[in-house]
Structure 1
């Protein structure tokens, strides 16, 4: 399995959104999935199971596939905007991120298809981008904004802050920089 990175700036987040839309020739499925995933920080397999019925309530409650833990996530305003826009564009769909093909009608887009779309954009931009990049990016941007590692740990549902620090990609260079930023 390829190690993927957190996207570390808002400008890169927007650039990825733009490229995902361009590469899909105007279809916003992957760009919407990217932006929604940034808001909820769920693993891709859990993210793809979300239905409109769940999302339109403003809160997603699910049992994580990996951990078996129940998660309850209140959707922020950006996530709710994505849900409403997708519902307006696809009123007949069951899943928030459903396939548009006649062959796979009524099914969510596959994890593999998402990985391929994200990797293609990552390759274009020189970023190791994958389906886990949404979770890592949310963690990194929260960390950059001063949110405590412990709180980020809870958001990502990690068992310890040490796992979270490694997960979001806190590098030795960034740790070294603190010795220059904070001279006492």
Structure 2
């Protein structure tokens, strides 16, 4: 699997949203925008059921680690979820598959990781970016780090155990850390 990057430019983040909607539909745009705000692995993001959301809080058990995650939803995320729920009141999953053949004749299922990967790769190719399903999580971590410069806080959000993993994950090199030390004089 090819390594993907955090998106380090706000205009590019917005352009990805626009292109996903234009080329793949509103649902893929919602996956991108909600995924950016939740910083979950794609398996956890696609597995979200409306029953996992209580008011402004999402509670899930992470597939990979088995850890419980409690995430307070920001206003943008709550608005997108409310719009999805209003458009699809009978759906079980936040990102439920409903357009494929036979979807009406089988139990509810979420979108597949494969479908999301395909959509993201399509947009990534157009923008000449290594865009993948993990780009959402990495982007959220990168922007939180840029805002607070608190690696421990980013580690907690991503539920990582190692600073080295988090630094590599969000695309912060030792050279950038060194530059931070040079620029900040007390």
**For residue 156 of structure 1, what is the aligned residue in structure 2?**
158
Matched with 2:16 is: 16
Stretches of structure 1 lacking an aligned partner (at least 5 in a row): none
Say if 2:8 and 2:139, in contact at 8 Å, map to a contact too: yes
Shift of residue 172 of structure 1?
4.8
Is the contact made by 1:9 and 1:141 (CA closer than 8 Å) also made in structure 2? no
SS class of match (1:62): strand
Corresponding residue of 1:124: 126
Deviates more, 1:47-56 or 1:77-86: 47-56
Could you list the runs of 5+ residues in structure 2 that have no partner in the other structure? none
RMSD: 1.8
| Match in the other structure for 1:68 | 66
Give the C-alpha shift of residue 177 in structure 1.
Answer: 4.0
Deviation at 1:179, TM superposition (A): 6.3
In the alignment, which of 15, 20, 27 is matched to residue 29 of structure 1? 27
Deviations 1:115-162 (A, max 9, x none): 110111111111101000000000001111124110000000000222
Contact 1:56 1:83 in 2 (8 A): no
Q: 2:111 is matched with which residue: 101, 109, 112?
A: 109
Could you say what secondary structure the match of 2:148 adopts?
coil
Match of 1:4 in 2: 4
1:167 to 162, 165, 169: 169
Q: Number of residues paired by the alignment?
A: 182
Deviation above 4 Å: which 4+ runs of structure 1? none
- TM-score norm. by structure 1 comes to 0.91
Say whether the 8 Å CA contact 1:61–1:72 is kept in structure 2.
yes
Report the TM-score, using the length of structure 2 for normalisation: 0.90
Quick check: 1:56–1:80 contact (8 Å CA) kept in 2?
Answer: no
For the Cα contact (< 8 Å) 1:48–1:108, is it kept in 2?
yes
Whether contact under 8 Å (1:55, 1:83) holds in the other structure is: no
Question: Which of residues 137, 140, 143 is equivalent to 2:139?
Answer: 137
Report how far residue 103 of structure 1 moved: 1.8
